[in-house]
Structure 1
């Protein structure tokens, strides 16, 4: 993939997201350039551009929405009351809390994140908001702390593409899903091959950019993992907000946000 080891990439991602959650206000998009770069928009403003409604934004505890992501995965997952939902890379708990409302008290929402500070923040937010049907666990999405065949739906928001081992992520997703379970992910895909200087940039690797797979690569990964009914839909309109991730770099010429769905 590049000259960095898997562990070096994970450590860089963990460091980046630790710094985000420790910042007051955390006014940064997950995919905004280097550590010194920041989004000029507040988290709610960023999320509104990604498709979250004002009602959704107002329904979560303060500090849950960090302005991260490239879509609204729980809106595409068709969640139903009583289901068990897993969020890969749950951050401050934002998407988990929205999913919690959809599955109700009979349902269960599990958030997994590899950054201890993110897990602690999500747990505090769950207590503040009274989200008793949520459970936040520390772990890597390549090695999920979730039992086999126990999940109805998996969601994720601009996180899987941060993994240095995407086939393992999707194999794990397949393992924990029940037969007939589904995955509904918002993520970034490469629309053209990425330049070598981008693929070898650690800042780009830890900020949702240079780890992006092409649609064909991602489709093959999903097939090899056992999934069927695969749908990958790049969104041309995402160029409008991708331009803000790293101004003057023309990222929108290389990557697009996409809706990714598949069934076990």
Structure 2
């Protein structure tokens, strides 16, 4: 297993554990404590409030997003929408509310446990135009030119080969269609001890890349009209840093001119 495969397996394991333990936790953690230990305080560092959005389902919200991609996605009645890293189905259900009964929503996730949880959430509500697939978003199990819109929320930054993902997004979109992704990016050079830390990686901070490089990957995939719709600064609480890093690394991190941001970006095929 190469290093990229090992990283993906680590992330898959953590999010599978989150799915299995979510009924205990009820508020997950994208960048914080181990989801298998509900006795610890859980930090939803980047989580957004979805509760006022049409289609919101509380039991499908694990608190692991970093934005509201559907807010900027321009989903229209009858659209086919693909959600990458669909988790328990929250963004899919909100997308369904926008696409209507004539639309179609496809959620893709590489965690068997997450897909099972999403299926149960959809079945409980009798949704017939929302489907969930287990699959790798670097090789999506859908044909070319399928989607009118692709959305994703705090997922691409978890995976090491972003160039593959953006090429896949381009492939599955219809010509003239677009994506809207909320994701985590970095600015500045972080201490190597920070970015090499396995638990921080799975927690979706150290896996993020520089904002400039992230946008270049989108350009290299041949998207046009690329626009950063929203930027939000991410602040990691000291308690989370102390759980994952030693004092020297924390001091280096705080002394550096660095930033962690949640961005929502759009692009057109």
Q: Do the two structures share a fold, i.e. TM-score over 0.5?
A: yes
Equivalent position of 1:7 in the other structure: 5
Between Structure 1 and Structure 2, whose CA radius of gyration is higher? 2
**Cα drift, residue 159 of structure 1:** 0.2
Structure 1 217/85 Cα, relative in aligned 2: closer, same or farther at 3 Å?
same
1:80 maps to 2:76? yes
Out of 171, 176, 184, which is 1:175 matched to?
171
After TM superposition, list the pairs within 5 Å mapping 1:1-264 onto structure 2.
5-23=3-21, 24-26=23-25, 27-34=27-34, 40=42, 50-56=48-54, 59-60=56-57, 62-232=58-228, 235-236=231-232, 238-239=233-234, 242-243=236-237, 246-247=240-241, 253-264=258-269
Is the CA contact (8 Å cut-off) linking 2:33 and 2:41 kept in structure 1? no
- Matches of 1:245 and 1:151, distance apart in 2: 41
List runs of 5+ in structure 1 lacking aligned partners: none
What is the deviation of 1:72?
0.9
| Aligned residues of 2:53 and 2:94 also touching (Cα < 8 A) | no
> Any idea what SS the aligned residue of 1:146 has?
coil
SS in 2 for 1:246: helix
What RMSD over aligned residues (CA atoms) do the two structures have, in Å? Answer: 2.5
2:65 counterpart SS class? coil
- The SS at the match of 2:263 is strand
Q: Per the alignment, in what secondary structure is the counterpart of residue 213 of structure 1?
A: coil
Alpha-carbon distance between aligned partners in 1 of 2:238 and 2:130, rounded to the nearest angstrom: 32
SS at match of 2:166: helix
Offset of 1:131 from its aligned partner?
1.7
Q: Contact conserved, 1:18 with 1:118, CA < 8 A, in 2?
A: yes
Equivalent residues of 1:39, 1:245 under 8 A apart:
no
Q: Are the counterparts in 2 of residues 29 and 68 from structure 1 also a CA contact under 8 Å?
A: yes
CA distance in 2, matches of 1:244, 1:259: 26
1:165 CA drift (Å):
0.4
Alpha carbons 1:119, 1:138 under 8 Å: kept: yes
Q: Give me the whole-angstrom Cα distance separating, in 2, the residues matched to 1:86 and 1:244.
A: 36
| Partner SS state of residue 24, structure 2 | coil
Moved more, 109-118 or 25-34: 25-34
What is the CA–CA distance in structure 1 between the aligned matches of 2:215 and 2:52, rounded to whole Å?
33
TM-score normalized with structure 2 length: 0.86
Change (3 A) 1:225 1:119: same
